[in-house]
Amino acid sequence: MARMRWAFLKFGFLDIPVHGRVLAQLARARFREMNHIRAAVKKAGIFVVLGYSKRYQGSLYISQSFIDENGDIVHHRRKIKPTHVERGFRGEGQAGSLKRVIKSLVGNTGALNCWEHTQALLQYYEYAQDVDIHIASWPLIFNTCPEMQYHISNEMCGGCCDTYMPTARSMVSLDYIQDLLSSFQPK
């Protein structure tokens, strides 16, 4: 199921009947759909990070599964802190979701979900896990319409992606800082 774009439209979060239908849909087992996706990944021989909504017990989560070239789920994480209207109907990720970098055939692959890209400590923690390739998961965003709030527009989300890599390059290691500081020591 796609992330719930309607919730970000003006007053979409007040649409209680839609929330009820979403909960009912996600309550059904999704094993068949996931098995089809895993089989397709295996057939293609690729590594995939899949973002989707997941219901576990009484909560909804914004989730990502890392699927390797054999079709195996090698890691699963949840968005650490839901943002905006998500807070009203989404659960928070657990500590295990802080691990977001997995070794793959193409390098250390990491991922963040949506507005996690704007949270500096989550970014830094990913960099500290020696990420080579970053997957940016965002909800399906169509062209901006009058009902769309600016913070979830194509322009704003694109801007967040544009600043992600320069931010990554601004982080430095402790060794670098110590070397820099030692160069200023009086001789």
Half-sphere exposure of 51 (CA within 13 A, CB side): 17
Per-residue model confidence as pLDDT tens digits over 110-146: 998 888 888 888 888 888 888 888 888 877 665 656 6
Contact by Cβ (8 Å): 100, 77: yes
DSSP structural state of residue 78: E
* Buried-exposed string 69-79: b where 16+ CB fall within 10 A, e elsewhere: eebeeebebbb
The percent of residues above 70 in pLDDT, for the chain, comes to 65
CATH topology of domain 5-170: Nitrilase/N-carbamoyl-D-aminoacid amidohydrolase (3.60.110)
pLDDT at position 48: 94
Most confident of 158-162, 169-173, 177-181, 183-187: 158-162
Contact by Cβ (8 Å): 54, 60: yes
Q: Domain coordinates of the chain in residue numbers?
A: 5-170
- The overall pTM is greater than 0.85: no
In angstroms, the first-to-last Cα distance of the chain is 64
Which two tokens mark 72? 């195996």
Please give the mean pLDDT across all residues of the chain: 76
